[in-house]
Amino acid sequence: MKPMTGRWFAAENTAPEAAAQLFCLPHAGAGASAYRDWQDKIGPDVEVVPVQLPGREARFAEPFVTSATEMAAALAGPLLERATGDRPFALFGHSMGALLAYELTHQLIAYGRPPVHLIVSGYAPPHLPYDPAYQIVHQMPDPRLVAHIEALQGTAGEVLDHPELLELLLPVIRADYELCETYRFEDRPPLPVALTALGGADDPEAGEKTLPAWRELTAASFTVDIFPGGHFYLHAHLDEVTGIAREAALSERSRT
C-alpha cells in the first residue's frame, strides 16, 4: 500500500487493485470525512480519494483559502502525484466542491492530464448571471448564518446545538461561502471533458431550472440527473449517486 501523498488527501489507498480513481471535493464547511462511506458503496474497482482542504479536520491549524482559482492551482500538482500510474480518474464535487472541481479541471487540462469525467452536484453553473437579490451569506451575523445552515439540512443537529462545535464550524462556513461568493467566472473554451450535473428538484439554486446550463461548459458528452429532495438530496440517494460516480470513473476503461 502506497503512503498518502501530501496533506491534501485523507487516507491511504483503500482500493489498491482499482482500475480508476475518484477524487471527491467537499461542500462548504465540510472536510474529507464527508466521503467516509463512499468506498464501501462504490466497491474495489474504483479508489475513492477524498480531498482534505486547508482549515478543517487534519488541516485545522492551516489558514483558509478563499479563492477557488488559488485552491485549484494549489491542489492540481498534488492530485496528479496522487493519481498514480496511467489509471483514469474522475472528479466529484458537491456544492462548493463542484465549483472547485470545475476550476480544478481547467488546471488539470493545463497540465495535460484532465479527468475522464467531471461530476458536479448541487451547484448552479458558474457562468450564469449573478442574481443581485441573492444575500451574501459569508457576511451574515452568526444567528442568521446558523439559520441558513439549518435550512439546508446538511449539518448534524448535534453540531448546531453545541456552542463549542458551532464556534469551530462557523469560521469554516464563512470562508467557504466567501470563496463561492467572490468567485468570478472566466470565459474559456468549453471543457473537453464529459460532464454530469446532479441535483435536488427542490434546491432553489441548483435544481432542474439551472443545472441543464452546465451543458454550455463542456464540448464533450453531458448528462443531467435530478433527484427528489433539496440541496443535500444525495444523503437520501447515496446509492444512486455513488453508482453514477463509479460509472463515470470507469468510463475510459469501457471505451478501451
SS3 246: helix
The torsion angles phi and psi of 20, rounded to 5 degrees, stand at -150, 170
What is the structure's pLDDT at 254?
41
Task: Note the pTM of the prediction, 2 decimals.
Answer: 0.90
Please say if 95 is a catalytic residue: yes
What is the rounded distance in angstroms from the CA atom of residue 135 to the CA atom of residue 151? 15
Reference 171, options 78, 61, 254; nearest CA is 61
What is the rounded distance in angstroms from the CA atom of residue 51 to the CA atom of residue 33? 9
What is the rounded distance in angstroms from the CA atom of residue 67 to the CA atom of residue 175? 9
What is the structure's pLDDT at 6?
62
What is the structure's pLDDT at 170?
87
Torsion-angle region of residue 195: left (phi > 0), alpha (psi -120 to 50) or beta?
A: beta
Q: Of 95, 121, 251, 254, which one is the catalytic site residue?
A: 95
Calculated CA dihedral for residues 46, 52, 53, 55, nearest 10 degrees = 170
CATH class given for the domain over 20-132+187-254: alpha beta
Cell digits for 161?
446545538
For the chain, the first-to-last Cα distance in angstroms comes to: 27
Q: Where are the domains of the chain?
A: 20-132+187-254
What is the structure's pLDDT at 210?
96
Alpha helices (H) along the chain: 38-42, 68-82, 96-111, 142-152, 157-160, 163-181, 238-249, 251-254
The torsion angles phi and psi of 202, rounded to 5 degrees, stand at -100, 10
What is the rounded distance in angstroms from the CA atom of residue 26 to the CA atom of residue 179? 13
Q: Are 191 and 218 in contact (CB under 8 A)?
A: yes
If the chain, 256 residues long, is cut into consecutive pieces of 10 residues, what is the mean pLDDT of each piece?
60 83 95 94 96 94 96 97 90 97 98 97 92 66 75 55 72 92 95 98 93 98 97 95 98 54
Three-state secondary structure of 32-47:
HHHHCCHHHHHCCCEE
Residues in the chain: 256
> What residues form DSSP beta bridges with 121?
94, 198
Longest dimension (CA), the chain: 54
What is the structure's pLDDT at 3?
36
SS3 12: coil
